[in-house]
Structures are given as C-alpha cells and as structure tokens.
Structure 1
Amino acid sequence: MSKVVASELKLANHFLIAMPSMLDPVFGGTVIYLCEHNADGALGVIINKPTDMSMDELFERVDLKLEISPSQLLSTTHPVMFGGPVQVERGFVLHSPHGPYSSMMKVTDDIALTTSKDVLEAVAHGDGPRRMLVSLGCSGWGAGQLEDEIARNGWLTVPADPAIIFDLPAQERFAAAMNLLGINPWALSGQVGRA
C-alpha cells in the first residue's frame, strides 16, 4: 500500500467518520468536523459527543449573563459537545461567520471556528451567530498522523454539510454523515480485506 502524504489530501471542511474498527474510547463512533488540514497536521471538533453541560450552564460558568430571553436563542438548551481530548478546558465554537472575533478562523463562507470568549459575549448580547455548536476541547493530529490513520482504515472522509452540524440533534449526525457517502452505517464491517 502506498503511503498517503498530506499534500495529496486537503480535508479542511470535511467530516471524518470513525470506522467500526475504531475501538478507541475517545474517537469510536464519532464524526469530526475538520477545520484545518495541512502538512503540519490537522485540527477538528467532534460534533456528535454531547457532554452533560448545557449552554445555560456554560454561560454561568464563564460569568456571562444572557441579555436576551433563552427562547430567543434556541441553542441555550443544547448540550455543549466534547470536541476532543486536546485542550479540554478551552471552548471551541463552530458557527456561521457573523463578524470578526478575536480568535476566529474562517473555514468556509458558511463555517468559522472561534476560540475566544467574545463570540459567546456576542451571543449573550443577542447579536452573535445564530447557528453554532460549542465544544470543550478539540481533536488534533501531528504531521502525517491523520493520513496514517486514514490509510489504516480508521476513518472515512466526506465533504461536510453545515446542516448536519447545526440543524440535526447530536444523535442523528453519525448516520447523516454516513448517508452523505450513500452508506448505511449499520451495514459497515470493522474487518479489512484485500482483493
């Protein structure tokens, strides 16, 4: 098998979908939205692993008071996601681009990643992005590490659909991402074979 190199793959704005053979307790059964992928490595956020913390609780923990009613912001009752094992004490917000935030990385015209508190402050004031997913922690890979995992049949990749991130409940995101590939997730095997 030929080695896949980072220059051959450009996976920013793609979903990584864990294969059934992925038995890792952190990544098994996950869908990750990749925000960045280059020769130095990759960075993404798990989008289907909710924590037991709601957005209301997160706002309380970071000392932000909602200046709008929670009914105006549907996402306040949504769970905060576990984004991955890297920097688990830090918040990562995937959102529709809505203005310049101090630590914002624009991934596409539809999706940005912000790690600064100002995006949550904007939400609390009622002028933040309307579509967002908040996670604690992120997922990261060093140079060549993700490519190696893909070559070993650890992940499927597919161009991302923002509706899966922002519009579906967390428990429906894995099947929806698999459906982008035309695959029934329950028909996959964890076995690898060669013809």
Structure 2
Amino acid sequence: MTFDLTGELLISTPTMRDPRFANSVIFICAHNEEGAFGLVLNRPVPRLTMADVLAQIGITDEGTIGRFPVLSGGPVETQRGFVLHSGKVGDDPSGQSLPGGLVLSASTDILKSINMGEGPDNWLLALGYSGWGPGQLEQEIGQNAWLTCAVPPGLLFDREPGEHQWREALKSMGVDPLSLSAVAGRA
C-alpha cells in the first residue's frame, strides 16, 4: 500500500460495475495493509428513521433525533450500526479517533447521549459498512472505479442524504458529473 485514504472520500465513477455502489460516496474510516473500511454517505435506508432504530435498541425517543434518516453504510454486516460524529473520544470512550476531529463508534451510549441532547451536534448512523480486502481498493481505484478527494464542507453530515452528495463531491474536485464516461482508459 502506497497511500492512506483514511478520512477521505471515495466517489464511484460510471465504470463501477457493482450496482450497490453506483453513484455512491463513501467516507473511508480505515485504510491500511489489511484492507479498507468505509461508510456510504448518500444511501438512506428506505422507510427507516432514527425513531425506529432507537425503539429497536430500547431507547426512548426524546423527540430530538427520531426524524433523521438512517444510512445504508454498505453491504457488510447490515444489522450492525456505526455512528460517525464530530465529538471527542473522551466523550465516547468506545469510539475510535479519525482524521478531521471525527470519531467512529459502535456503542449505543453515544446514541443515548445524542438523543438526550448531550452528544455531538454533527453525527450520522449507518447500518452496515463497505469493506475491501488487502489491495482490493487499490485495484479498483486503478481500474478507474473510484475517484478520491478530501471531504467538502457540509457533505459529511447532510440531513437529507442522496445522489446530490455524489454530484457535490465531484464538483468539489472540479469534475462535471456529465463529463464522466463509462469507458475507462489509460494515458
């Protein structure tokens, strides 16, 4: 591995052959010689809200976060939840510190804090994750299936996730989505 994409975005290109990732934007939470782990940012789970998730895990919705969407983080372990937030690891002892002052947690304690209005203001909940084995992501990037970029302001914690995030991520790189071709080439 010659580069570390932790804290960066992956943006699918038209050459992405897996329909689960078409027009997707993924935040990379970990990237090392063992592989990569990320969360899809622009795919809300249909007909599922935070209120539904809170009820399933036995937390009474205090009316502050129940209306927010839940994301489909990827096709792996889709019943497992991950909270990405802008809090401090000290406030979330089970969380893992990420670049950019972000924390990744799989604890329900952070959801309780957020629900009570005591947690971070910026957060998202994703069910499942996207994962790659050693060298797999690098190979897909080499096949032009993904573009990478820094996280543009406002894109990460969008309360209305959708395909507009894909377009915004591309535009942050100076790429017009209409100019992308499904045919890959090499110079």
Alignment TM-score, normalising by the size of structure 2? 0.92
Q: 2:72 corresponds to which residue? A: 82
Segments of structure 2 that go 5 or more residues without pairing to the other structure are none
What do the CA deviations read for 1:64-111 (whole angstroms, capped 9, x no partner)? 013x4x2xx3x4312100001111110011111244324311112432
What do the CA deviations read for 1:18-64 (whole angstroms, capped 9, x no partner)? 11111312111110000111111111100001102111111111110
Q: 1:179 corresponds to which residue? A: 171
Q: 1:26 corresponds to which residue? A: 20
Q: 2:155 corresponds to which residue? A: 164
Note if 1:106 corresponds to 2:97: yes
Query: 2:55 is aligned with what amino acid?
Result: E
Aligned residues of 2:69 and 2:160 also touching (Cα < 8 A): no
Aligned residues of 1:97 and 1:109 also touching (Cα < 8 A): no
Note if 1:95 corresponds to 2:77: no
Q: Give the drift of 1:158.
A: 0.4
CA distance in 2, matches of 1:82, 1:167: 14
CA distance in 1, matches of 2:53, 2:159: 21
CA distance in 1, matches of 2:161, 2:41: 7
Q: 1:13 corresponds to which residue? A: 7
Segments of structure 1 that go 5 or more residues without pairing to the other structure are 1-5
Q: Give the drift of 1:168.
A: 5.6
Q: Give the drift of 1:147.
A: 0.4
Query: 2:171 is aligned with what amino acid?
Result: N
Aligned-residue sequence identity (percent) comes to 38
CA distance in 1, matches of 2:168, 2:82: 22
CA distance in 2, matches of 1:192, 1:109: 32
SS in 2 for 1:190: coil
Q: 2:180 corresponds to which residue? A: 188
> 4+ residue runs of structure 1 moved beyond 2 angstroms?
98-103
Matches within 5 A, 1:5-154: 6=1, 8-52=2-46, 53-66=48-61, 68=62, 70=63, 73=64, 75-98=65-88, 99-154=90-145
Aligned residues of 1:47 and 1:165 also touching (Cα < 8 A): yes
Query: 1:136 is aligned with what amino acid?
Result: L
Aligned residues of 2:39 and 2:73 also touching (Cα < 8 A): yes
Aligned residues of 1:48 and 1:81 also touching (Cα < 8 A): yes
Structure 1 residues 174 and 45: CA distance shift in structure 2, 3 A: same
Across the aligned residues of Structure 1 and Structure 2, the Cα RMSD in angstroms comes to 1.5
CA distance in 1, matches of 2:186, 2:132: 27
Q: Give the drift of 1:161.
A: 2.9
Alignment TM-score, normalising by the size of structure 1? 0.88
